Amino acid sequence: KQEVTQIPAALSVPEGENLVLNCSFTDSAIYNLQWFRQDPGKGLTSLLLIQSSQREQTSGRLNASLDKSSGRSTLYIAASQPGDSATYLCAVTSSGYSTLTFGKGTMLLVSP
Amino acid sequence: EAGVAQSPRYKIIEKRQSVAFWCNPISGHATLYWYQQILGQGPKLLIQFQNNGVVDDSQLPKDRFSAERLKGVDSTLKIQPAKLEDSAVYLCASSPYTDTQYFGPGTRLTVL
């Protein structure tokens, strides 16, 4: 059974810092990995999707990397802003299935 | 393009009562998902529909939960009778493919 772990559970940083969120998964036979953002009282917004054959994806100040063999992914946020404050969730799609397995998320607070 | 719509946004009920949630996916999306997100956890898939048919309901507590998707469009998720541990946010998502899921804002259920 696939399990996804995210570290840290919570993170508080001052504005402008670069930061890294970590995600690990137990079964390396994945189809893809996604990073989502969840604001309080809102649904999930997909930030980046990395196919199993890819090593990284970038969108603006966000960069996600994938090391499938070691079962790890990182989300790098450059020059953090207060608007980045949210919970970030990592999810994997296991090969042969279309369902997502989520981690518990990292709650990020960026203070001005 | 309109997003995934869900109603109600909030619901408070007593234990042993019944409750129903409604989801309207993005037009043309064949796949629809219902997730349960307990506070502090990542979303857990309850059921996945492909058009009218159920693809995966392995984690749906079938003794109390039921879901249907009529005419391959709207969907309802019902809980009868509710338990205290059913307190959670219920998220609906839709997808034109299996890679990208678009989430609604969710329904927050509190069972007293």
Q: In degrees to the nearest 10, what's the CA dihedral of A37, A40, B109, B99? A: -10
pLDDT tens per residue across span A18-53: 999 999 999 998 989 999 999 987 889 999 999 999
Q: Which of A32, A99, A105 sits opposite B48 (nearest CB)?
A: A99
Q: Which of B4, B99, B102 sits opposite A49 (nearest CB)?
A: B99
Q: Which residues pair with B24 in a beta bridge?
A: B5
**Is the CB of residue A87 less than 8 Å from the CB of residue A11?**
no
Cα separation, A23 vs B84, whole angstroms:
31
CA distances to A71, A93, A105, B102 from B43, in Å: 20, 13, 10, 14
Minimal Cα distance from A88: which residue of B? Answer: B42
Cα separation, B32 vs A92, whole angstroms:
18
Mean pLDDT, each 10-residue run in order, chain B (112 residues): 91 97 94 94 93 90 94 94 97 83 94 96
Q: Which residues pair with B95 in a beta bridge?
A: B31
Nearest chain B Cα distance for residue A55, angstroms: 17
**pLDDT in the model for residue B97:** 67
Pairing of strands B75-79, B53-56: unpaired
Q: Give A81's contacts (C-beta < 8 A, 6+ positions apart).
A: A15, A110
**pLDDT in the model for residue A96:** 63
pLDDT tens per residue across span A53-110: 999 999 999 999 999 999 999 999 999 999 999 999 999 988 666 688 999 999 999 9
Selected residue of B31, B45, B47, B51 to mutate for chain A interface (largest A Cβ count, 10 A): B45
CA-wise closest residue to A35 among A69, A76, A71:
A76
